[in-house]
Amino acid sequence: MHFKTLTVVATAGAFIVASAAFAGGHLTEDQQRAVDARQSHMGLYGFNLGPLGAMAQDKIPYDAEVAAAAAANLAALANMSHDAYWVEGTDGSGDGIRAKAEIWTDMDGFKAEDMKLAAATTALAAVAGDGLDAMRAAFGPVGQSCGSCHEAYRAPRS
């Protein structure tokens, strides 16, 4: 999980014509790609959190294999490099974007939240297959990490 400067991010995205704007949209193509990618990434968090949360809340039976796979997926996602997602000018000004400007004005705090999620999911992955109690205990900090980051850096649904 490394955050690079936005200069580097801009370079990475330069293979797309940066000045091309989507018809009717406010974002350039490379901005839209970054937004799509981070929303896909968040969707995959949700997809893998689903069965773990349902098990933790006794809504479905605990399954060690399913729990271990979902937790390993979460840890893999959280430990990926997220640098290229946070292109300048892609905070929420409509278009279904909920990223707050604070991501860019407080990048250190945002990085710290991201590292917290990486640590919590890595800890969860280590025990998710070891029984419901172990999984549930390690699942709590993951949910707390989601919540604290969203509280600080994601706007409410408009």
The answer to the question of residue 96 lying near its own copies (CB under 8 A) is no
The answer to the question of residue 77 lying near its own copies (CB under 8 A) is yes
Name which of 4 and 100 has its Cβ closer to its own copies.
4
**23-40 core/surface letters (b: 16 or more CB in 10 A; e: else):** eeeebbbbbbbbbeebee
The answer to the question of residue 44 lying near its own copies (CB under 8 A) is yes
Phi, psi for 16 (deg, rounded to 5) = -100, 140
Cα 109 versus chain centre, distance: 15
CA–CA dist 81, 156 (Å, integer):
25
CB of 38 to its own copies, least distance (A): 9
Residue choice 12, 115, 134, 152 for contact with its own copies (CB under 8 A): 12
Q: Enumerate residues 6+ apart whose C-beta is below 8 A from 108.
A: none
Phi, psi for 94 (deg, rounded to 5) = 105, -165
The answer to the question of residue 70 lying near its own copies (CB under 8 A) is yes
CA–CA dist 55, 135 (Å, integer):
9
CB of 82 to its own copies, least distance (A): 9
The answer to the question of residue 134 lying near its own copies (CB under 8 A) is no
Name which of 7 and 151 has its Cβ closer to its own copies.
7
Name which of 54 and 101 has its Cβ closer to its own copies.
54
CA–CA dist 64, 131 (Å, integer):
7
CA–CA dist 120, 126 (Å, integer):
10
The answer to the question of residue 15 lying near its own copies (CB under 8 A) is yes
The answer to the question of residue 72 lying near its own copies (CB under 8 A) is yes
Residues that bind its own copies (CB under 8 A): 2, 4, 8, 11-16, 33-34, 36-37, 39-41, 43-44, 47, 50-51, 53-54, 59-61, 63, 65-66, 69-70, 72-73, 76-77, 79-81, 83-84
